[in-house]
Chain A
Amino acid sequence: MEMTPWHIGGKTLNSRLLIGSALYPSPQVMQESIRASGAGIVTVSLRRQAAGDAAGQTFWQLIRELDLAILPNTAGCHSAKEAITTAQMAREVFQTNWIKLEVIGDEYNLQPDPFELVKAAEALIQDGFEVFPYTTDDLVLAKRLVEAGCRILMPWGSPIGSGKGLMNPYNLKAIRERFPDLQLIVDAGIGKPSDAVQAMELGYDGVLLNSAVALAQLPVKMASAFRSAVEAGRVGYEAGAMPERDFASPSTPVIGTPFWHQAEK
Chain B
Amino acid sequence: MGKQLIEVVLNGDAMACKEGESLAAFLERLGYPADDFATAINETFVPRSDYDNRQLQPGDTIEVVVPMQGG
Closest residue of chain B to A57 (Cβ to Cβ) is B36
**Which B44-65 residues have C-beta < 8 A from chain A?**
44-45, 47-48, 63-65
**Which listed residue, A23, A52, A63, touches B71 by the CB 8 Å rule?**
A23
Tell yes or no: A123 within 8 A of B by CB: no
Docked pose: A8 CA to B15 CA in angstroms = 44
Tell yes or no: A43 within 8 A of B by CB: yes
Establish whether residues A93 and B37, one from each chain, have CB atoms under 8 Å apart when the complex forms.
yes
Establish whether residues A56 and B68, one from each chain, have CB atoms under 8 Å apart when the complex forms.
yes
Chain A residues positioned under 8 Å from B45 (CB to CB): 85, 88-89, 92
Tell yes or no: A72 within 8 A of B by CB: yes
> Would you give the shortest CB distance from A205 to chain B, in whole angstroms?
19
Given contacts A51-B32, A92-B47, contact A85 B69 (CB under 8 A): no
Contact with B along A10-51 (1 / 0, CB 8 A): 000000000011111000001000000000000111111111
Docked pose: A62 CA to B52 CA in angstroms = 31
> Would you give the shortest CB distance from A136 to chain B, in whole angstroms?
17
**Which listed residue, B11, B32, B71, touches A48 by the CB 8 Å rule?**
B11
Tell yes or no: A158 within 8 A of B by CB: no
**Which listed residue, B12, B27, B65, B71, touches A93 by the CB 8 Å rule?**
B65
Tell yes or no: A160 within 8 A of B by CB: yes
Chain B residues positioned under 8 Å from A46 (CB to CB): 38, 65-68, 70
**Which listed residue, B27, B36, B40, B68, touches A47 by the CB 8 Å rule?**
B68
Given contacts A85-B44, A88-B45, contact A45 B68 (CB under 8 A): yes
22 pairs from A and B in contact (CB 8 Å cutoff)? A20-B69, A20-B70, A20-B71, A21-B70, A22-B71, A23-B71, A43-B70, A46-B38, A46-B68, A47-B66, A49-B11, A50-B11, A56-B68, A63-B67, A72-B70, A73-B70, A81-B43, A88-B45, A89-B38, A92-B45, A93-B66, A161-B71
Having A51-B32, A93-B66, one finds 6 other A-B pairs with CB under 8 Å, namely A22-B70, A23-B71, A46-B65, A57-B36, A86-B65, A88-B40
